[in-house]
Structure 1
Amino acid sequence: MLNKLFCFVLVGLVHLGVFAQTDSLYVEVDTTEVVIAVNEITNKKVLHPIFEKIKKIQADKSGKINIVHIGDSHIQADFFSGYFRQNLQQQFGDGGRGFVFPYSLAKTNGPGDIRFSSNEAWESQRNIYADNGNPVGLSGIALWTKNKGFAVEMNVKTKESGFSKLKIFTPNNQKMFDVALASKIIKLESDIPKKFVHKIRSGESLSVIADKYNVSIKSIKSANGLKNNKIRAGKTLKIPSDQMEKRVVERSEFIPLETMREEGFHSFASDSLIHKIYLIPAIEQTDFALNGMVLENNNAGIIYHTIGVNGAKCSDYNKFPLFFEQLKTLTPDLVIISLGTNESFDKLVTADYFLQLSVMMETIVNQNPSVAFLITTPPPSQFKRKFPNTFVADYTKEILTQAELKNYAVWDLFSNFGGLFGIHQNAKEGLIGGDKVHYTKVGYEKQGQLLTEAFLEALQNYNTETGK
């Protein structure tokens, strides 16, 4: 049910003649009016099973809750979701960093707490492009190579994010990678002909130089690719020699460690926390594709999986079955969906946006019948940095209206950040970027903090109502 403040905004839109289905007309509004929303989760009863699991973890000091947060560029950098993750794990236990992906190898931005590097270039494709057979899976980004000489290094930058179990996701769960904890330097020695280099002096000829080194003129010409006996002072010549010298070549060699094939992934477990690991080619493979990894530890608590793709819409995730197949393997208890901004910039009518959102939820629940959903409405933005994005206003209204019927909870980010005309205040507070679409790190962290407060309040109300 819409709160009164949100209804006020909708009435204001009617009086201004601004509607979300305005297909070709932008309406410029000069106003600093900001909605003061009630920061709460709507239809919070959907989250009651999650609250019960939280209480059980706190009581038993064991068990994990898997939360999967799916989104677009607002999520890919992990400022919003990362802040919420940290708050939940501080409150209810850190069960592991969750899903990670080497965005840098796909030449795009990613979270700052995990660093990936590789000695080889990789090919990639985001899910925003047509399905042309590339392995777009759980990350929403296909990443592949045919080069068997690669090594991928992953470094966890904080001690707190160390992991004791690694899960590797590949298309059809093929064993494409081995893992190693360290590399060692192998030194290879060999005898090679000793090389001399002679700098030609004024007046020197090939015959003089050949006599000096006791070699033939023919061998000097052959070593230097000379077609005649003409040489020039100041240049250099390679002088062939029968003498031999030692050459030492160093190379890194990885010792593969045993991985276990499980349903949907290959895993590696350690008795102690790991902060660096390498992915190397499985010997029997010639093609390699990585859909992502999951980092877990032995602690009870929250595992928070973040999946974001710049430019993505619900329909982009929906067109790749592998995404949903691998999502099932995460055994999600709660799925948070934060999409809608890119649909609005495509001027997608509300009915079509909500249809794609519904398809996403239905596909997920078909493979995860007990999963709960929390939908965050898209944040305020502007077209061309001055026209109110009325599409997200209408998406928000529809999301809130359909919450009970479709059985999902809602956190109204749109109203919490000022609604349709909140951009001016957000910019004044340094919360939104210059494009008036993406938010600053401070802005995303404020979103994470507000969601934390709404979630904890809903949990507290549930505990009060149930007498726990």
Structure 2
Amino acid sequence: MKIRHLIASLLLLMACAAPLRAQWVGDTVSVPAFLNKEKNLIDFNGADWSPLFAEMDSLQNGSDSTARVVSIVHIGDSHIQAGYLTEAVRLPLQRRFGDAGRGLVVPLKLAKTNEPHDYSVVADGAWNFARCVGRKYSAYTPGIGGIAIVPRTNRIDLTVSTLSKTDDCEGFRRVRLFHEPTDSFPAVISEPYRVTGEARSPFLTCYSWNDPVCSIHFSGQIAPGEERLAIYGASLETGESGILYHTIGNNGAFYSSYAAIPHFAEQVAALAPRLIVISLGTNESFSTSLTRDELYKQIDAVVAPLQASCPQALILLTTPAECARRRTRWVKKRRRVYYSPNSRVTLVRETLKAYAADHHLACWDWYEVSGGKGSSTAWRKAGLMAYDRTHCTETGYRIQGEMLYRTLMNAYQDYVDNGVAQ
């Protein structure tokens, strides 16, 4: 059903002749000695990454005069939602191979959860929401980012901005808005902005313009009785050659959380990923009833549809680091809290590695790299892990991102040197 009389305007809120992104200073972080740096390798399990690295090489060398983009999608849980880990991978990749934009941003704050620090999605009026984890407003269906926001009235006022701690910002010339229904948002748009041909693609409408902006405003009116509009997220892009690194993270997410999102794989396919990184498993390790066979099936319920919808994409599975369980005991009639290593992380790690080997998918064993058994205590003592011994501090996540970036670049360099990546 179409949304009639929807008037959409894109307002230039902030623009500059040549906007620059305020970059996190110091991609190279101090890596603690207890990490197994010699184990920081990708096990390709026979997967051929040469086509991906060849595209990256052409970006770095500028051998192709046309604007080309290598799109990476990183899917995960709270470790990914915070944004620090993926930022520590994205920024150095873009400095080396070109900056194609901020990538997917999701209105997480409007869904009553935390949002990365470098963008903002704000709205006027009252909005309902749904999340792929939990049952809040379960009548609505989450989309590509694991959430949906739905206006309670027939008025839409939504502003998407890139943020900075300096006077600079990360400019963009192109927005791909993920939403449903998909055939009518917006109906009218004024120059110099235009809806491109992708407006007819499932799940998204694409806008582009000439000069970079740092903030954009969507507004419109939904006619009474028309189908309610659900917004899932937006990809912010420069229109230039380089890396697009899209982040999809949800606190408390399992593999089964993403498997339950209708058309999740098809929506990911709209981002045209060449590499999909999946960092899940921590929450599964806290489920005492989950068996190895059940977990294997849940992994497949996410990976198999992604492979079917994104045949051009390579897939990299990552294992979770050691975490700890919160326990209590009584000492002299007083209740004491303590933590002990979560032994079920081993089951999750082994299942992920087995699935990757069985299906010839690459695997990065972060459990081993981060220190293996007993490492959560070392991370906590070093101030790199939060009090719950499960989540990291900002610096801890940046270390993990740094190590992922290093192993990707080591594999890329092997390809450059030897012409083979597998």
Q: How does the TM-score come out when normalised to structure 2? A: 0.80
Partner residue, 1:313: 254
Aligned to 1:60: 64
- 2:373 alignment partner, SS class: helix
* Identity across the alignment (%): 31
**Residues of 2 paired with 1:179 and 1:396: CA distance?**
50
- Does the Cα contact within 8 Å between 1:97 and 1:303 map onto a contact in 2? yes
1:250 aligns with none
Kindly provide the amino acid, as one letter, of the partner of residue 335 in structure 1. I
Quote the residue 2:175 is aligned against.
Answer: 166
Dislocated runs of 4+, deviation >4 Å: 130-133, 177-181, 255-258, 282-286
- Which residue matches 2:49? 47
Q: Is 2:391 the counterpart of 1:438?
A: yes
Decide which of 400, 407, 412 is 1:447's aligned counterpart.
400
Q: 1:296–1:94: structure 2 CA closer, same or farther, 3 Å change rule? A: same
Extract unaligned runs of 5+ from structure 2: 1-32, 327-337
2:119 corresponds to which residue? 114
Q: Which has the higher helix share?
A: 1
Equivalent residues of 1:377, 1:399 under 8 A apart = yes
Match in the other structure for 1:200: none
Preserved CA contact (<8 Å) 1:137 1:291:
yes
Please point out which of 155, 159, 162 is paired with 1:149.
155
Deviation at 1:122, TM superposition (A): 1.4
SS of equivalent residue, structure 2 residue 207 = strand
Instruction: Check conservation: 2:183, 2:200, Cα contact below 8 A.
Output: no
Instruction: Determine the structure 2 residue equivalent to 1:232.
Output: none
CA shift for structure 1 position 133: 4.4
Partners of 1:298 and 1:257 in 2: CA distance: 14
Q: In the aligned structure 2, how far is the partner of 1:46 from the partner of 1:443?
A: 31
Indicate if the aligned counterparts of 1:344 and 1:389 stay in contact, CA closer than 8 A: yes
Structure-1 separation of matches of 2:58 and 2:219: 39
CA positional deviation for 1:459: 0.8
Match of 1:296 in 2: 237
Q: Are 1:77 and 1:109, in contact at CA under 8 Å, matched by a contact in 2?
A: yes
Larger deviation, residues 400-409 vs 64-73 = 400-409
| Equivalent-residue separation in structure 1 for 2:302 and 2:180 (angstroms) | 20
Residue 78 of structure 1 is matched in structure 2 by 83
Post-superposition offset of 1:257? 5.6
SS at structure 2 position matched to 1:70: strand
Candidates 203, 210, 234, aligned match of 1:271: 210
Equivalent-residue separation in structure 2 for 1:104 and 1:446 (angstroms): 26
Q: What is the distance in 2 between the residues matched to 1:305 and 1:381?
A: 26
Give how far 1:176 is off: 3.8
Q: For residue 259 of structure 1, what is the aligned residue in structure 2?
A: 195
Q: Find the residue that maps to 1:173 and give its secondary structure.
A: coil
In structure 2, the residue matched to 1:125 is 130
Rg bigger for which structure?
Answer: 1
Q: CA RMSD in A?
A: 2.5
Pair 173,259 (structure 1): closer, same or farther in 2 beyond 3 Å:
same
* CA distance in 1: counterparts of 2:218 and 2:347, whole angstroms: 45
Contact 2:162 2:169 in 1 (8 A): no
For the residue of structure 2 that corresponds to 1:111, the secondary structure is coil
Secondary structure at the counterpart of residue 390 of structure 1 = coil
Alignment match, 1:406: 359
Say whether residues 1:464 and 2:414 are aligned partners.
no
Aligned pair count reads: 363
Q: Deviations over 1:197-217 (max 9, x none)?
A: xxxxxxxxxxxxxxxxxxxxx
C-alpha separation in 2, matches of 1:439 and 1:179: 46
Q: How does 1:11-22 map to 2 (within 5 A)?
A: none
1:32-85 residue CA offsets vs partner (Å, 9 max, x unmatched): x96735111111744322111111223225311110000011111111111111
Task: Quote the offset at 1:90 in angstroms.
Answer: 1.1
Q: Which runs of 5+ in 1 are unaligned?
A: 1-32, 182-254
Aligned residues of 2:322 and 2:345 also touching (Cα < 8 A) = yes
